[in-house]
Structure 1
Amino acid sequence: MNSADLGRRVGVPSTALFTDQYELTMVQAALKAGTADRRSVFEAFTRRLPEGRRYGVVAGIGRVLDAVENFHFDDEMLTFLRDQNVVDGPTLAYLADYRFSGDIWGYPEGEVYFPGSPILRVEGSFAECVLLETVILSILNHDSAIAAAASRMSAAAGGRGLIEMGARRTHELSAVASARAAYIGGFDTTSDLAAGFRYNIPTVGTSAHAFTLLHDSERDAFQAQVDSLGRDTTLLVDTYDVTAAVRTAVEVAGTELGAVRIDSGDLLLVAHRVRQQLDELGATGTKIVVTSDLDEYAIASLAAAPVDAYGVGTQLVTGSGHPTCSMVYKLVARASSADPADELRPVAKKSMGAKSSKGGRKWAARRLDEDGVAEAEVIGTGPVPPELAGRQLLVELVRGGEVVAREPLEAARERHVAARAGLPMSAMQLSRGEPVLPTEYV
């Protein structure tokens, strides 16, 4: 297996300070109380899907594994914590030796999830598990939100190409994570070279309006691009007059022109006109790419247009209105000591309202109907019913602190296609609605 398939992890900095201060102060208090080493089980889940969404998409698991591997405190970090009086001396000594040594199980990347799904289960001592809370939630909430938006756009595109091009609309590091999550959710390529380098995602890109404006004429700009990139390039045709630009593009590149891109105007109308013009000029194989503030609804509205690919930026990298999944990370079971033989006791928050949670170390399975279509997300804490034994969703990710489940990004992408195909057809509807599967607790 090519190492690039798994993501380039060389030079990854420590993730230990990607956390909230109260994670460290809880460890300090637990160390003093003698409870820090109590065997504990934490779970990441969401109480509800974003409003109107019918399913969620698990993304970021690979990045979580990287974060866990690289969660350690170096001398400079420890000096910062000491100088800022964040924690005391005994806690600094504990952090200096910190390496996660527990176990992690979770939904594999690309799988779908529903309210209550135990997306990630982290087991170990209280101290080593609680320190990972913030970085795990940061990754899962961001990446799963982007992947869910990408999945909806992919469903709306109906097999047409999708280009992720949101790097300039978000933080530079978020842009890389967004491209990765979008690829899992169904996008085909990215414009972000850092994402291509790190995760081996195919990259694309040719020119912007500035390139046309640089030259004395549109013809000069097209000629320069074709001379440099070849006839199979994509020419941007809406800087001035689209009809004139398409004519010039074919004159310069010939009927072998790869594609034209439209970035403004009434895309439905303009795409039909451009397709007719290209065909009349003999460029029947030239494709049409549209951009310009697209989301899943705009993509769906262009289903009848002769469009070959969509480029999506802002709406994708902001989760198309839902930039987080509201996942939480809760202690659900704990023992009274570090002894593996000590019984795990279910614990749960019992506050009023919607913030209560269900205790116990959970398993999850997806029940199918007689046609093989998913009909329920089943979650339990006791024995797994025999009929669900082969449908369990959690897989082992980390054993004894060692990652055991790295996989190529393509595997997560393919898994999502299969998981989405296994849902009821109503999952693909863009109209607002309830989760397409009920969550049943047994």
Structure 2
Amino acid sequence: MNTADLGLPVEVPSTALFTDQYELTMLRAALTAGTAERRSVFEVFTRRLPDGRRYGVVAGTGRVLDAVENFRFDPAVLSFLQEREIVDGRTLEWLSGYRFSGDIWGYPEGEVYFPGSPIMRVEGTFAECVLLETVILSILNHDSAIAAAASRMSAAAGERPLIEMGARRTHELAAVAASRAAYVGGFATTSDLAAGFRYGIPTVGTSAHAFTLLHDSERDAFRAQVETLGRGTTLLVDTYDVAEAVRTAVEVAGTGLGAVRIDSGDLLLVAHRVRRQLDELGATDTKIVVTSDLDEYAIASLAAAPVDAYGVGTQLVTGSGHPTSSMVYKLVARAGSDDPKAPLVPVAKKSSGGKTSVGGRKWAARRLDAHGIAEAEVVGTGPVPGGLADRQLLVELVKGGEVVAREPLDAARERHMTARAGLPMSATQLSRGEPVLPTEYVHGTSGSQ
């Protein structure tokens, strides 16, 4: 969901300068060479997953669609390009009328991916496709990294809900995108109000240590919060002495207190002590929320603890050690002339150093074993084998320049849960390992389909 779904006004700035200069200099040179209008196919993929990860998560697709729609060169942008002499007059004129008119296919948001998966395929003229490289990669690399970390954390948490609370640990705009990606990856709520406003994600929040320190006593702070927010609120109990705070919290709110939050110390030990104390005080339904720089490993270590929810910040919004997905955007096929009917010729980078790519316009399908569990990611060119025809992964996102696949954010979130559940059980193990599915290549006879 976004604010348009809610009937709220949305400022839609141009995304045209979310790009690198060489996209525009390539355009300028291609216009001069007469090759700018050649039909081309670009694909987004990653050559490898982050070290030790078993699967990737596609996130940011909805934001990509917005970015493509809003990729416009308005007068202010054109003046900037002219003043810097980045492009010439002919290129400026071409840019002034820019509208992406091609097609985009891709893995639907929330789907899992593996090395070599053609996560997104952008088709059109070279000129209109090459300009989108940087903005597409910027969104997919960031959001997919956050979603992958979120997925690992939600798998470790099991049925216990996760709260995204990392806004203060990253750039203010990245924080909103991170909240969205975390929701796709399995988080239930966010503390970031901009994310709630923009994408309709449920928001939560009560108080910090500063609120307790503001008052003359912890009791005064708890009383003020309960009187304002009700007995179902969450009281922070580790500003001073935890045991004393829990006792005071129940005295103030009664046994119907919603939850207590623990933000420091040995969380496993403290959670057990707090649960025992709450039960002894009759607050058997009061929940325990833990925070304090958690990651998927810390969450897994608390599986046996009497914890009801986790709040995660820094490690989530930084991808839990892997802040990018290392995706690339490569030309894989192009026509031999400007003729729209000219056949596509597969092309690929063949340099050494591990940066080779596979040419040709690709399809992808996921083969299942006899039990319905995924056993391989199959990527190919040419005709799709009959047994995989109904298992294809790419869906049409943009047709003739028009977005055709917008969907509620909850749909991407649900898709991810389904996709992850369809992987082998080892996919959610936190121990380091290889991708849980191998990528198999099937080479057809042509890149021109």
| TM alignment of 1:108-123, pairs within 5 A | 108-123=108-123
Matched AA of 1:307: V
Give TM-score scaled by structure 1 length: 0.99
| Aligned equivalent of 2:205 | 205
Deviations along 1:7-29, whole A, 9 cap, x unmatched? 96721100000000000000000
Deviations along 1:193-212, whole A, 9 cap, x unmatched? 00000000000000000000
Residue 37 of structure 1 aligns to a residue whose secondary structure is coil
1:174 aligns with 2:181: no
1:157 aligns with 2:157: yes
| Aligned equivalent of 1:284 | 284
| TM alignment of 1:98-247, pairs within 5 A | 98-247=98-247
Structure 1 residue 336: Cα displacement = 2.0
Relative to structure 1, the CA distance from residue 103 to residue 142 in structure 2 (aligned partners, 3 Å threshold; closer, same or farther) is same
| Aligned equivalent of 1:261 | 261
Deviations along 1:377-432, whole A, 9 cap, x unmatched? 00000100010000000000000000000000000000000000000000010000
Residue 162 of structure 2 aligns to a residue whose secondary structure is strand
Matched AA of 1:102: G
Contact 1:374 1:437 in 2 (8 A): yes
- How many residue pairs end up in the alignment? 442
Distance of 2:296 and 2:263 partners within structure 1: 17
Matched AA of 1:398: V
Residue 355 of structure 1 aligns to a residue whose secondary structure is coil
412-421 vs 10-19, which deviates more? 10-19
Matched AA of 1:405: A
Contact 1:6 1:199 in 2 (8 A): no
Deviations along 1:96-123, whole A, 9 cap, x unmatched? 0101000000000000000000000000
Structure 1 residue 141: Cα displacement = 0.1
| Aligned equivalent of 2:24 | 24
Percent of pairs identical after alignment?
A: 85
Residue 261 of structure 1 aligns to a residue whose secondary structure is strand
| Aligned equivalent of 1:380 | 380
| TM alignment of 1:412-431, pairs within 5 A | 412-431=412-431
Relative to structure 1, the CA distance from residue 36 to residue 394 in structure 2 (aligned partners, 3 Å threshold; closer, same or farther) is same
Give TM-score scaled by structure 2 length: 0.97
Matched AA of 2:363: W
Relative to structure 1, the CA distance from residue 177 to residue 288 in structure 2 (aligned partners, 3 Å threshold; closer, same or farther) is same
Distance of 2:433 and 2:12 partners within structure 1: 41
Relative to structure 1, the CA distance from residue 83 to residue 337 in structure 2 (aligned partners, 3 Å threshold; closer, same or farther) is same
Deviations along 1:238-285, whole A, 9 cap, x unmatched? 000000000000000001100000000000000000000000101010
Relative to structure 1, the CA distance from residue 2 to residue 353 in structure 2 (aligned partners, 3 Å threshold; closer, same or farther) is closer
Relative to structure 1, the CA distance from residue 2 to residue 61 in structure 2 (aligned partners, 3 Å threshold; closer, same or farther) is closer
Contact 2:367 2:375 in 1 (8 A): yes
Relative to structure 1, the CA distance from residue 345 to residue 2 in structure 2 (aligned partners, 3 Å threshold; closer, same or farther) is closer
| Aligned equivalent of 1:52 | 52
Residue 31 of structure 1 aligns to a residue whose secondary structure is helix
- Extract structure 1 runs of 4+ deviating beyond 6 A: 6-9
Distance of 1:384 and 1:225 partners within structure 2: 61
Distance of 2:19 and 2:260 partners within structure 1: 46
Distance of 1:187 and 1:41 partners within structure 2: 35
Distance of 2:18 and 2:416 partners within structure 1: 28
Structure 1 residue 329: Cα displacement = 0.1
Contact 2:378 2:439 in 1 (8 A): yes
| TM alignment of 1:402-413, pairs within 5 A | 402-413=402-413
| TM alignment of 1:327-342, pairs within 5 A | 327-342=327-342
Distance of 1:276 and 1:237 partners within structure 2: 15
| Aligned equivalent of 2:271 | 271
Distance of 1:7 and 1:31 partners within structure 2: 42
Distance of 1:31 and 1:301 partners within structure 2: 58
Matched AA of 2:73: F
Structure 1 residue 337: Cα displacement = 2.7
